[in-house]
């Protein structure tokens, strides 16, 4: 596994229904057509006495680090699935972008569609006929030629934040698909926090993941800390 051989060391939150882990960048959540190591290979270590391993309740791109919620059994997965599909789960990302907006905050309302009809392709594009996609953003810091953004996607489209930033003129640092970075670059996109209103009579579960090592220098330059 990238950066660690102990998935248990990346556990951020645990209760009877849900686990939240800090997924390392470079590790796919689900198996792909090319095979190779995935998060699923490590989930047996997170059973904590239950008969089955937990399963991911939503997606994070392979190269995105940070908060990932896992349902501990089928009923938990169903409840979490409703939160994410109904856009009730609060998701907060940190990104370092090239250039940056002139304003200090705003929203990007830009429908997205697939670039290709090939079902194996996940690459997306801005498409007026595509699925609605909405992202709120605000500036957290600036450095020469770069900006540290907080991104809050309301919808959960594939590659939504990457396309929204690139189409706005400030691609995410290290993005080889939408930002022109060399292949193998470290994507500066991190799932910083999750807010899960899982229990009706309790406050939402709020979990934060520390910034990954590969983003620390850029964050520091923009006035941030891990």
Q: Is the pLDDT of residue 7 over 60?
A: yes
The pLDDT, as a whole number, for residue 118 is 66
Average pLDDT, the chain: 93
Nearest alpha carbon to residue 172 among 64, 26, 23:
64
Mean pLDDT of 60-88: 96
Residue 79: which CATH number?
A: 3.30.2350.10
| DSSP strands (E only) in 57-145 | 65-71, 90-98, 105-109, 112-114, 124-126, 134-143
Is residue 2 pLDDT above 50, yes or no?
no
**226 located within any domain:** no
Does some domain include residue 191? Answer: yes
> Tokens 């690139």 map to which residue?
166
User: What residue numbers bound the domain in which 165 lies?
Assistant: 7-221
State residue 33's pLDDT score: 67
Average pLDDT over residues 86-101: 96
pLDDT for 116 equals: 76
How much is the pLDDT for 115? 82
Q: Which residues are catalytic?
A: 61
Question: What pLDDT score was predicted for residue 5?
Answer: 53
Tens digits of residue pLDDT in 111-136: 999 887 766 567 899 999 999 999 99
Question: Residue 225: is its pLDDT beyond 80?
Answer: no
Q: Which residues have CB under 8 Å from 34's CB, separation 6+? A: none
Q: Is residue 125 part of a domain?
A: yes
Contact 39, 23 (CB under 8 A): yes
User: Residues 8-48: pLDDT tens digits?
Assistant: 999 999 999 999 999 999 999 987 767 789 999 999 999 99
Residue 82 lies in a domain: yes
Read off the pLDDT band of 4 (50, 70, 90).
very low
Q: Is residue 170 part of a domain?
A: yes
Q: Is residue 90 part of a domain?
A: yes
Domain count, the chain: 1
Give a yes or no: residue 2 inside a domain: no
Predicted confidence (pLDDT) per residue in 153-181, tens digit = 999 999 999 999 999 999 999 999 999 89
């Amino acid at each position: 596994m990238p950066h660690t051989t102990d998935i248990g060391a990346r556990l951020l939150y645990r209760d009877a229904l849900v686990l939240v882990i800090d997924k390392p960048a470079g590790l796919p959540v689900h198996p792909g057509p090319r095979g190779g190591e995935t998060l699923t290979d490590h989930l047996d270590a997170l059973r904590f006495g239950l008969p089955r391993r937990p399963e991911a309740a939503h997606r994070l791109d392979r190269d995105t680090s940070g908060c990932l919620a896992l349902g501990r059994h089928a009923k938990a997965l169903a409840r979490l699935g409703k939160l994410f599909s109904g856009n009730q789960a609060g998701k907060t990302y940190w990104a370092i972008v090239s250039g940056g907006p002139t304003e200090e905050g705003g929203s990007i309302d830009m429908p997205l569609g697939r670039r290709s009809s090939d079902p194996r392709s996940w690459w997306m594009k801005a498409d007026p006929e595509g699925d609605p996609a909405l992202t709120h953003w605000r500036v957290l810091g600036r450095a020469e030629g770069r900006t540290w953004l907080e991104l809050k996607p309301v919808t959960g489209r594939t590659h939504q934040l990457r396309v929204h930033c690139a189409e706005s003129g400030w691609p995410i640092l290290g993005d080889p698909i939408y930002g022109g970075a060399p292949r193998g670059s470290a994507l500066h996109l991190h799932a910083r926090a999750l807010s899960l209103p899982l229990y009706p009579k309790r406050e939402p579960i709020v979990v934060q993941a520390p910034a990954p090592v590969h983003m620390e220098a850029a964050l520091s330059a923009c006035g941030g800390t891990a």
